[in-house]
Amino acid sequence: MIIRNARLRGRDGLHSIRLEGALIAAIDAQPTLQASAAGELDAAGNLVIPPFIEPHIHLDATLTAGEPAWNMSGTLFEGIERWGERKAMVTHEDTKTRAKKTIDMLVDHGIQHVRTHVDVTDPTLAALKAMVEVREETRHLIDMQIVAFPQEGIESFTNGRALMEQAVELGADVVGGIPHFENTRDQGVSSIKFLMDLAERTGCLVDVHCDETDDPQSRFLEVLAEEARVRGMGARVTASHTTAMGSYDNAYCSKLFRLLKMSGINFISCPTESIHLQGRFDTYPKRRGLTRVAELDRAGLNVCFAQDSIVDPWYPLGNGNIMRILEAGLHICHMLGYEDLQRCLDLITDNSARTLNLGARYGLEVGRPANLLILSAPDDYEMVRSQGHALVSIRAGEVLMRRTPAQIERA
């Protein structure tokens, strides 16, 4: 297969891309626009990029909002309570059906890599077992990493440690955590030591829901970063949310950032989720409840955006479109400056790939997998301004999804 008239991020001019089987075989500069032959794809001067990535979502909880009750306060804590009620009704087939529906929504928006948290604070591990099957059954659509996520705590939940270990044995790829939700600060700290030991012993990656609160005293990020630094695991470790950082004072942050840089850990922000769930205990002035995305980025740390939820007890909206998250995040994080707009797709592509440790399994380079998107715009700025879409998604050299843009007729 050949894709003509492609614009590539970070390279001037037009290119044609030749795919052979499941790999990218050649990328050649084109002097001018070329007519495409039958069977070839015409990017028409628009961007061709590697697939979008969803680095943080909860596919076991998706499409359950209102079952049996809605989150009326809009807080994280009521979300956890409402999910606890729904969790009691979870079955193997119910989990698989909802997860697959949601994966279809992601695929329709050009996503081909996903990291999903799966709640393992359930003595039956029903959702985890279901998601291990879904990971296999959807391989033709998406590459999935499963996080063993202890929603109700590792230390504070009965048999929490054993459930985490069983989840890894059953096939989880990533070890999770939720230190800010443990009953005590000490348990938060010991949960991080436990989960880092588990990851180090088993070779798993790490992705911790860390300090997802407006409480400026929630300081588990420093514990996670120090554990990662000492063990030399930084590149394999991710701190998700870290919304308390939006409430830390600058004096503490200036010390913290030194450690973060030494640790080399990755960050995920879920801007639509956090603007909705955080700030709920404020009147006015009301905090935004996001981590310091622009500041992390400026400091050379790796940060990316994620959806977190689609129609679940924590967030009632969502449709799988990660461009919507990017647009919201750029607004909320004061990142609509010219330079940020020039490279904003990094936040849902290359930065996310680094977080997921995808390495040579990702990227537009000869010899890498023939997984790529044709977008509806020629550059990052225009893609976000025009609320553009992935028009074609190619996976293993075959067209997986095609989107026809809306037609408008005027008198």
Residues that bind ligand 17E (CB under 6 A): 58, 76, 151, 178, 209, 212, 273, 308-309, 314
Annotated active-site residue 339? The verdict is: no
| Residue nearer to Fe ion on the CB measure, 173 or 308 | 308
> What's the rounded Cα separation, in Å, for the pair 223 and 202?
21
Among ligand 17E, Fe ion, none, residue 46 binds (CB under 5-8 Å by kind)? none
Contact partner, 297, from Fe ion, ligand 17E, none, Cβ < 5-8 Å per class? none
Least distance between Fe ion and beta carbon 241 (Å):
7
Q: Rounded to an integer, what is the distance from CA 216 to the centroid of its chain? A: 24
Residue 312 CB coordination number (10 Å): 28
**Residue 308 sits in the site that holds Fe ion (CB under 5 A):** yes
In DSSP terms, 402 is beta-bridged to: 392
Q: Minimal CB distance to ligand 17E: which residue?
A: 314
d(CA 138, CA 109): 16
User: What's the min distance (Å) between Cβ of 196 and ligand 17E?
Assistant: 19
Task: In angstroms, give the least distance from the CB of 3 to ligand 17E.
Answer: 36
Query: Which stretch, 137-145, 254-262, 300-308, 316-324, contacts Fe ion (CB under 5 A)?
Result: 300-308
SS3 assignment for 40-61: CEECCCCEEECCEEEEEECCCC
Assigned token pair, 123 = 């003595």
Q: Residue 149 or 257: which CB sits closer to Fe ion?
A: 149
CA distances from 92 to 61, 87, 98, 134 (A): 13, 11, 10, 10
Residue written as token pair 């938060």: 188
Cβ 151 vs Cβ 121: under 8 Å: yes
φ, ψ for residue 311, nearest 5 deg: 55, 65
Do the beta carbons of residue 28 and residue 352 sit within 8 Å?
no
Question: Is residue 211 within the footprint of Fe ion (CB under 5 A)?
Answer: no
The minimum distance between CB 152 and ligand 17E, in angstroms, equals: 9
**Active-site entry in 212, 227, 273, 327:** 212
Complex with Fe ion: residue 214 or 308, whichever CB lies closer: 308
Applying CB under 5 A, the residues found at the interface with Fe ion are 308
Active-site annotation, residues: 212
